[in-house]
Amino acid sequence: MKLRVGLGFDVHPLETGKDFWLGGIKLPSDKGAVGHSDADVLIHAICDALLGAANLGDIGFHFSNKDPRWKGKDSKFFLQEITSMLSERGWQIENVDCTLTLEKPKVNPFIPAMKKTLAPLMNISEDDVSIKATTNEGLGYVGREEGVNAYAVALISKK
């Protein structure tokens, strides 16, 4: 069996009055992430981790933020498409592990719903999706609540 690991990172600015899509669900929040698609930073980091593991480029290469087709697009679509791209090449996703950095809102209560939403898009069980969150201790753009970061690693295998 061949194993490969991939790393993903994404950042989006936060603005008052925008919807906050994170991990495939909409969080109750006075601020939301801004981007060309739905700006789901967690899904974007997972997409890049999976593409990196399979050595298939990055999310911007496949779903350009200049392409009007992806304007306001639900990022769950990107994750599903990337899972299919890997599957067509014989890759099975083993697990993903993610860390979010943001000050508000507290995301821990929403992590079970995120896992439940994301796992089927990758054809894996909820137990294979780890999502963690930390504040940035008030430091930098995350600390000032101007942005949100997501980091992800993914392991994939081929028989």
Residue nearest to Mg ion (CB): 44
State how far the Cα of 4 lies from the Cα of 143, in Å rounded to an integer.
34
* Smallest distance, Mg ion to C-beta of residue 75, A: 8
Of 10 and 103, CB closest to Mg ion: 10
> Which residue, 44 or 115, has its beta carbon nearer to Mg ion?
44
Q: Shortest distance, CB of residue 121 to Mg ion, whole angstroms?
A: 16
Scan residues 80-99 and list those touching Mg ion (CB under 5 A): none
Distance between CA atoms of residues 12 and 19, nearest Å = 13
Among 10, 38, 48, 103, binds Mg ion (CB under 5 A): 10
- Shortest distance (Å) from residue 157 CB to Mg ion: 26
**Please, which residue, 52 or 92, has the CB nearer to Mg ion?**
52
Site for Mg ion in 23-52 (CB under 5 A): 44
Give the interface size with Mg ion as a residue count (CB under 5 A): 2
Instruction: Tell me the CA end-to-end span of the chain in Å, nearest whole number.
Output: 5
Q: What is the C-alpha to C-alpha distance for residues 95 and 90, in angstroms, rounded to an integer?
A: 16
Residues sharing a CB contact under 8 Å with residue 64, sequence separation 6 or more, in sequence order:
70
CA-CA-CA-CA torsion sign (111, 116, 121, 127):
positive
Q: In whole angstroms, how close is the CB of 9 to Mg ion at the nearest point?
A: 10
Q: Under DSSP, is residue 115 helix (H, G, I), strand (E, B) or coil?
A: helix
Binding site for Mg ion (CB under 5 A): 10, 44
